[in-house]
Structures are given as structure tokens and as C-alpha cells.
Structure 1
């Protein structure tokens, strides 16, 4: 399993926020949803992404893809100087800048939102709503905003997502989630492979015959009682040789990497399943729930029980659901 597949194979989009935004200039939307990652692609016309804090505006043309990493806010507009007239908050809640609910006023059709049905600009938007859906290691490797130029390899995925986003068939949510995952992987693969890319150590290390093999073993079976010696034996090198090369390429020793990966997996299990803390501990390689809880709290700052009950995994309350844009799950969809 390679680096990107490994990161996205387990934690993946579940009920992601997807919509087609159709706008006639002048228009600007302020994004303050604090979502971990948002993918945008222009289908027609042009759009600018203006980062907060005075960053340089980024222009997107047809087929270009932008990936914005939260939680920092940004503005999407027809031009860098256009004043925002709408604000999108956590969970896709849309209001005016003064707080008046705005979603219903701008719903055009299923998962389509904007100020004009035949607007000059159309943008596909896909947002991962929960931190657990994207590995923290991946998020840490990304800049606040990255762009990938239009490419023949991503065009078919964009065409399919554009066709499916306005459909409302059985199983549609799962289809859209998987298309979003595929498009994100394709975009990140292109970005990491660009000339002069400063890819993270774990990504470059996957191409190393020794360290790549060790990484795949750790990621595939985090519950195994790994030691540096047993990992080196499986990789076919000496213990010292593996420890030195692993640390050099990945940036941390093998057992430190394994601890981080185990706790990443555990965090998603705590959020997405009803498994007991003891069961989660076993699934990620801890012999006792006490040892697991101590390690989890040392790294995450809270106990597994506290993490499971934290607002990170909570659903929106009813008033927020009623004000959401039409790209959320069916229960949150507005009727035009």
C-alpha cells in the first residue's frame, strides 16, 4: 500500500459536504467552516481564492483544482477585491455577514447553490467535515492552500463528479464520497509529484526499498507486537541499518512512527465505532486499556473516553441543519 492510499484507505469521506456553486458576478463568499480540507474546481468561468491575512490571491480557471486546508478562513470570489456577501460557517451553515440565514434564498436545485442558475461561473466544492476523515499526518504535510493545474488525468473524475453531484439516486451519498476521495488522491498525487516538490518524509520514504517496506508493514498491521529487530528482519536489513535509514528518511524512529500511527487509527475507531476502549486498544496493539489510555492522553491531551465525547464527533443540532447549504446529507438538505 503506497503513501496516499494508506492515508486515505481507512479514514475516508463519510457524508462529505458536496455542492455545485453557480454565480453571476459580482460575488464573493467568505469561508469560515474550519473544515480540515476542502477541494474546489472551476467548471466554467474563473474564480479567485483569497487567503486570510493578506496572502496572494490564487486564480482558478476551468479544470484547475484547489485544496484548502483548515482551519484558517479564506474568501472565494469573482475578483480579489469583491466584498463578501455570504458567510459559510461550520457544517455548511450559510448566512449573511450579519448572521441572517441565507441558504434557502440561494438554493437552485439538488446540491446546487448560487445567485443565478445560468451564472457565468460554476465551481464544484467538496468538503471533509470531520478531522478524523483525513489523517493528521497528511494535513500536516500540506500548505494552507495548494493548486493543481487542469490535467487530462483529473478531467474524467471532474466530469463524473459534476454529472453525479446533481443526482439524487439511491446510494448517491456513497458515490459522491468515493468520487471525492478519488479526486483528492489524484490532486495530491499530482502536487507531490510536481518538479521541485518538497514532499514529506513519509511520502518520499515509500519509494525506498527498505524503509518503504517497513512503513507498509507497520501501516498494514499496527496491532502486531513490532520491535525494531522484528521489523528489520522482515525488511531484510540489520536492526541498526533500519533504525538509521528510517529516521533519516521519515524524520522519526520506527517505534515513534508506529505509536503515532496506532493512535491515529485509534482516534478514528473511537469516533466512528461503538467499540469499547479495551477493544480499540487491542486493535491497535496495546495489551491493556490502561497502557493505551496513558499513551493516548500523553499525545492527544485527553483520555480516549473524553475524546469520544468531544464536540469533534458531534452532529449539528437541528437549527444549524435547517440553515445548511444543500450539499450535506439528505436529512440536512433544504427544499427549494
Structure 2
């Protein structure tokens, strides 16, 4: 797998939330739902996004903003507009005091408007936003979340995915069989497209391990680990496959990837095991073999050490 595929391998929406919102001025919405990741495409208008830390950023039609949770953030027609609606876990909308806000009748499928609707294209001066939320931490790999800043804005001209945004917007307001699955897959595609546009830019601050794939020593080791996590790798064995000493590989890998090679291998194995526990009927013993552990006992001990719960409890909770 290439480094971007590795980074995005855990980005799979399951039970994601997708909504179109039409907001007429004055408006200000604060999001406190603690979703691990939010993707917001600006269909029309020039709203502001205000992160929990840092300055407000004005957005243009076509821009896409990615907010990493669980910190709160706001969208508004003006950063000075007082908060009118708070989005809480669920997601559930309330006033800042916690009361139920006044709802606009006949807003349409997966659509929320804060005032009288005169059109859906923003021609009346309203802002139209397309919102996608990954609601469960397990939907996004921890490595991806750690690679993202709290707020990432990709201009429309940079990502060039207007057709994909338009398709997601069209599907959001449809109510056909299998619609939730369609929206989840489109949200995944949009996230991949936006982050690809971001991380492949020459001036982008991509994570260290992402750039490590281009290294002639560390790159092949990363690919070996991802292709064969079940093998009994050692630092010496991996070093032998790349023609360097054990000490050289350990130092170089840690410098570029941020963690030692064996720690990276363990993370990869545990991530893979968690995915198998959630999305397959494989036995604990089978998962142990697929992820390089000699027994179910050794695997269970390693999984609990990494995730804080046993594999069976993780499967039950999922």
C-alpha cells in the first residue's frame, strides 16, 4: 500500500451522519457533539469557521473544512454573531440554554434550515453547507486523527472535487433504498480526495511517517509490515531485508516514522485485529494467527495492553 492508502485505511464510515443545512443571517452554530471527525463542504455563501483554539477563517463556495474532534468549533455568518444553536451528542440541537430550538417546517430530507426557505442555492444570501460526521472513534484510525490539525481548510481550487461534492449533495436529499450506505461511501471518497489533495502538495505539512515511504530504507520496511503483519518480524530481520544494520534501521525508522519499528508493527497488528473483531466472525484464535501472535492468550494480552479492554469485550461493544 502507498503511504496515503495506509493513512486512510481506517477511514470507513459506519453509521455516519450526513446533513445539508441552509442558514439565513444572522446565524451562529456551535458544535459540541465530540464527533472524532467532521467534513463540511460549502455549497454557497461565505460563512466563517471558528475553531476552539486559533483564529476564525472565512470560507468560500467550494471550500471544504475538516475539523478533528472532540474539541468544539463554530460556524457563523460572522464571528461576532452570538451563538444561537448548540449541536450536542446525538447529534441533538438546542439553544445555548439547553432548550429545544424553534424548527422550520418542511425543510426536506436530511435538511435543516434556520429560517424561511426561499431557495436552496444561496441566491437569497443564505449559506448552504453540506455536513458529514464520523460519529464513532473506531471509524477513523488513530493514526489519521493524529496526522490532522484541529482545523484543515482545503480551497475548492486545490481539491478539484466539485463533481463529488455535487453528487454527495444530491444524494443527501434523496430517500432511496440503501441510501445510508451510499452516503457513507461518498463521505469516505470525499475525505480521501480532500486529504490526498492536501498531503500531496509540495508545501503541505504531511506527517513524518507519511513522508517516510519515500525513504529507500524505511519505505520498504513499512510495506513489508503492512503486507505481512502475521510474520514474526524482528528489527534484525527487517534490517536484513533492506541491507542495513539493526541499529541503522532502528534509528532511521524512529526518526522518520516517529516510533520504533516494533512499536509500529504492534500498532498495525492491533489496528488490523480491531477491524477483524468488528467486521468479521473470525475466532479470537484465528485473528491471533492473522496478526502474528502465537496464541489467543498472547494476542489477548497484547490487545488489552494497547486498547485497555479484551478482544471479546471490544467485539461485544462494537
Give TM-score scaled by structure 2 length: 0.88
List gaps (5 residues or longer) in structure 1: 314-336
Deviations 1:132-188 (A, max 9, x none): 111101101111111111126222221221222212223322222222112112211
Which residue in 2 is equivalent to 1:254?
A: 261
- Which residue is 1:177 aligned to? 184
Partner Cα distance (1:178, 1:220) in 2: 24
| Larger RCO (alpha carbons 8 Å, 6+ apart) | 1
Q: Distance in 2 between matches of 1:215 and 1:171?
A: 37
Q: Which residue of 2 aligns with 1:82?
A: 81
SS of 2:107's equivalent?
strand
Please state how far the C-alpha of 1:291 moved relative to its aligned partner: 1.4
Residue deviations 1:33-87 (CA, integer Å, cap 9, x gap):
111110111111111111225x311111101111000000111111101122222
RMSD across aligned C-alpha pairs, in angstroms? 2.4
Rounded Cα–Cα distance in structure 1 between residues aligned with 2:269 and 2:241? 19
The runs of 4+ residues in structure 1 deviating greater than 6 Å are none
- 1:267-302 deviation line (CA, Å, top 9, x unaligned): 333344454433332332211222122222222233
Pick aligned residue for 1:221 from 209, 219, 228: 228
Once residues 93 and 124 of structure 1 are traced to their aligned partners in structure 2, the CA distance between those partners, rounded to angstroms, is: 17
Q: What is the distance in 2 between the residues matched to 1:103 and 1:288?
A: 57
The worse-fitting range, judged by mean Cα deviation, of 29-38 and 168-177 is 168-177
CA contact (8 A) 2:67 2:151 kept: yes
Bigger Cα displacement from structure 2, 143-152 vs 6-15 = 6-15
Distance change (3 Å), C-alpha of 1:107 and 1:293: farther
Other-structure match for 1:12: 12
Matched, 1:144 2:150: yes
Show the counterpart of 1:288: 295
2:132 aligned to 126, 134, 138, which one?
A: 126
CA distance change for structure 1 residues 291 and 95 in 2, over 3 Å: closer, same or farther?
same
Q: Which runs of 5+ in 2 are unaligned?
A: none
Answer whether contact 1:94 1:103 (CA < 8 A) is retained.
no
* Deviations 1:95-121, CA, capped at 9 Å, x for gaps: 223333459646611111112432511
Mapped pair 1:202 → 2:201: no
Cα deviation for residue 241 of structure 1 reads: 4.0
User: C-alpha separation between the residues in 2 aligned to 1:29 and 1:146?
Assistant: 19
Change (3 A) 1:125 1:241: same
Distance verdict in 2 for CA 1:233–1:77, change over 3 Å: same
Q: Is the 8 A contact 1:227 1:255 kept in 2?
A: yes
Q: Secondary structure at the match of 1:99?
A: coil
TM-score, normalised with respect to structure 1: 0.83
Q: Distance in 2 between matches of 1:145 and 1:137?
A: 16
Q: 1:101 to 1:236 in 2, by over 3 A?
A: farther
SS at 2:90 equivalent? helix
